[in-house]
Amino acid sequence: MSLRQSLIRQSLSRPLLVLSTPRSPAFTTLSKLYNKHPGLPGENDPGSGTHSRTDKNVKIQYPLEKNMPRSVPYQGHGGVHDKRTLASFSLEGRTVVVTGGARGLGLIMAQAAVISGANVALVDLNEAEAAKQSSAIVSHFKSENPDSSHTPTVTAHHADVSNPDSVSACITSILSTHQKIDHLITSAGFTENFDAIAYPPDRMRKLWGVNVDGTYLFATAVARHLIERKSRGSMVFIGSMSGKIVNIPQPQAPYNASKAAVRHLAASLAVEWAHAGIRVNCISPGYMMTALTRKIMDENPELEKKWVSLIPTGKMGSPEDLMGAVVYLLSDAAGYTTGADLVVDGGYTIT
């Protein structure tokens, strides 16, 4: 028991001291204690201090489609393989479905699959943007591989991931083009910040529908296809470090709960589908500087300072930091890895 806990217990255990009297000894003792330790609850608690807490004044709503910043494909040297690596990391001949593939982390992970030899089906609510990014990925691949005898096929498909009929139609569209699906990356998802008490219920249901229902619907659809083909496969769900910790100072309880669900869903399906040779893993990124995150940081500079101050590496991650992680988990190099949660957060959750 700590000193302050001991003092409180001693004060509360003396029946002759009336706590409701402002001049009583117990009141005076506790008042001094509260003032000395502002982290303790009480009417003198100013709500400040170095301890962790959320701030209900931080409110960030996910932008409308027309206000979304555009992501760009990774412009690094990724096409020409001039360094040796394990052959088991190759995705050549495979077809990878990426939900939320037109922007942010999904776009970068789709490009990682292409660089590793896979054909990719980009799935997004905004099919026009997915089509633009599909062309951009292929153009970038050709520019880095001018002498390549094979160019991966990258296609764009529409889906509202939270709608079962839309998901079913999307899978049909993908199969009509690619004939098969081997892997799935579920990157469709979003976060926004509202004090829990003030969170609009319709937006909370939408968040859960995209983040959790969308992951489940696509995973089960792809698993059904793999089982019918009697084919092995692997999936990577994109969770978040928010699925295991509570972020500060922004309040985001529904998002945190949704990502905890995604993380546990991956583990549950890994067990359920192990008999069919289907591996299911999760990647939990920390703070990543996507185009949308950059927009939020520009509008809330103090938020960036707070976030970075809590990251041991002293910086936010880049989307390309996830390229190796997703290729590993999809590939045969991770053949004995299933139900795992790979945290990529610069050490945030270990402090």
Active site residues: 240, 255, 259
Task: Spell out the alpha helix ranges (H) of 37-187.
Answer: 104-115, 127-144, 164-178
Contact 103, 70 (CB under 8 A): yes
Q: Distance of CA 112 to CAs 1, 226, 264, 287, 342, Å?
A: 51, 22, 25, 19, 17
CA angle 64, 240, 49 (to 5 degrees): 95
Report strand pairing: 95-99 vs 119-124: parallel
Cα separations in angstroms, 291 against 47, 252, 287: 33, 20, 12
The torsion angles phi and psi of 121, rounded to 5 degrees, stand at -110, 110
Residue with tokens 């709500």: 47
The packing angle between helices 301-309 and 291-299, to 10°, is 110
Which residue type occupies 320? E
- Tokens 């470090």 correspond to what residue? 241
Q: Answer yes or no: are the C-beta atoms of 227 and 210 closer than 8 Å.
A: no
